[in-house]
Amino acid sequence: MAQATLATYSVEVNEEGYMLQPDQWNKEIAEAIASELGIKLTNKHYEVINYLREQYAAGNALTIRKVGQSGITDIKGLYVLFPKGPLKYSSKIAGIPKPASCV
């Protein structure tokens, strides 16, 4: 566990830079993480980010497939929004822990 300064905020992150306290998140932080990843956030990005945060808060496991069925965008669209890491990068920007893949 470590502290990182994102935008002007000091937040708790894991060794890969995923935020550990989703309630420390705000849009300025999202922009800061996104720009590190080379992503410019649009409204569509925020729709996905808000969906992820809602699902995480409800305790639901997240998969690429599930986000692809959310009605916000399909899987291909998700790859266009978050190239190389449709779930990893979107989760990182959304300030939620890295989704556990299969076990």
Active site residue 102: yes
Quote the least distance from Cβ 1 to other proteins, whole Å.
12
Please list the alpha-helical segments (H only) found in the chain: 27-36, 43-57, 64-68, 75-81, 88-94
Quote the least distance from Cβ 68 to other proteins, whole Å.
9
Quote the least distance from Cβ 11 to other proteins, whole Å.
22
Shorter beta-carbon distance to other proteins: residue 29 or 73: 73
Alpha-carbon span 97 to 75, nearest angstrom: 21
Shorter beta-carbon distance to other proteins: residue 17 or 31: 17
Catalytic residue from among 58, 100, 102, 103? 102
Alpha-carbon span 73 to 32, nearest angstrom: 23
Q: What is the binding site for other proteins (CB under 8 A)? A: 61, 63-66, 69, 75-76, 78-79, 83-86, 88, 100-103
The DSSP secondary-structure symbol of 13 reads: E
Q: Would you name the residues annotated as active-site residues?
A: 102
